[in-house]
Structure 1
Amino acid sequence: MSIKFLAEDDRPREKFLLKGKNSLSDSELLAIIMGSGNRDETAVELARRILSSVDNNWHQLSLLSVKDLMKFKGVGEAKAISIATALEIGRRRASQEVLEKPIISSSRSAYSILKNHLSDLRTEEFWAIFLNQSNKIIHITQLTQGGINQSIVDIRILFKTALEHFSTGIIVAHNHPSGNLKPSTEDLTITQKIKEAGELLNIQLLDHLIIIQNSYFSFSDEGLL
């Protein structure tokens, strides 16, 4: 009996997608790693039996060798290696420190991050930094790539990305290949539209930077927000 014949709420992969990874039991997580059970057991049942043999302790399970795991009916070499690999990834993850997300504290700190992406380009690009409530960076992405003097951003895509990353603040930026730091009429218009859209969604536009090779213009610093 394979996973696809189980009740939908008991299918580990579907449950992962519908309810999230935190909803899965240890046996369901192990079942996803293995992919299938044996002739007499579903993957979940086999996983439950394997975990029971080590008192449901992941550390104890990680001590089993590939040969030890292959002693369970339905666990061949490929499954045993998959289990051992997943446990090794978990061990390495636990040994690493969580990377601290950079904090944007000023237009200068935003510029220092974005200048490497925008300062030396021959065509105009539009980028965005997405921040949490502590002004820590969640995500950075390029939104558009345009011509010599214009790169139009789709505001719907900008805020779709912000919502996907649960962002509460954004900083947008684009470059002027001409080297002119003065905002154009189009720059002023799009900035206002982004600001107004953000107010509706409770996502604050913190700044808009225009970047050239060795300098930048900040809408926030200049009181244009």
Structure 2
Amino acid sequence: MDLPMFPLGSVLLPGQLLPLHIFEARYQAMLEHCREHGDEFGVVLIERGHEVGGGDIRSDVGTVARILDAHLAAPGHWTVVAAGVRRIRVRRWHPDEPWPHADVTPLVDTDEGPVDALGRNVGERWTGVLNRLTVVADIATTMGDESYAGMPDVADDPRLGSFQVAALSPLGAFDRQKILATTSLDRRIDLLIEMLDDVIVTLRAARTLGGDASPFAG
């Protein structure tokens, strides 16, 4: 499948909203194309370099984004809200004309099927992930980080919920990319437990040292 692509310096996860301000001419043309042909485009992380001017290195795992709203904010300036809907793997990049595009294929978990059938106490470990996220939110809030006020509920299904937790957690782009690219729910839960434990240790240390706000805020 040949899909229009939007390389970014951040990771889009399934279930996550993506606000965009589009002003570059080729992406305005891409937006028009997408709105005429299904409202979808791919998003991948720029791992090194800058997309403008070329020469960037892009991740081979990304997310399909579906346009939810788009309006012309000013001449030549579009405000767009999209949502991550499913994962993809890039098989081959084409030349960036008239806009970046690539051949992509769906990326799915290798351990598909009922969560209860996976073993290793997946349900119990998933509850542990949610509990850790609550701890992160509580500590960060006491330190003055207001980003967790009104935190949305996480899906009951850990296949989607694992990506939502990664989006809500103060993780770096490469940690989020690791979560995105992991094709095992079982392994993804393990990674989230490891990452959230590290975040909790960092937050508690910062609070002990008298920090007034989460070191991850802003």
Q: What is the TM-score of this pair, normalised by structure 2?
A: 0.19
Greater share of helix: 1
Tell me: higher relative CO, structure 1 or 2? Use CA pairs within 8 A at least 6 residues apart.
2
Bigger radius of gyration, 1 or 2? 1
Q: What is the TM-score of this pair, normalised by structure 1?
A: 0.19
Greater share of strand: 2
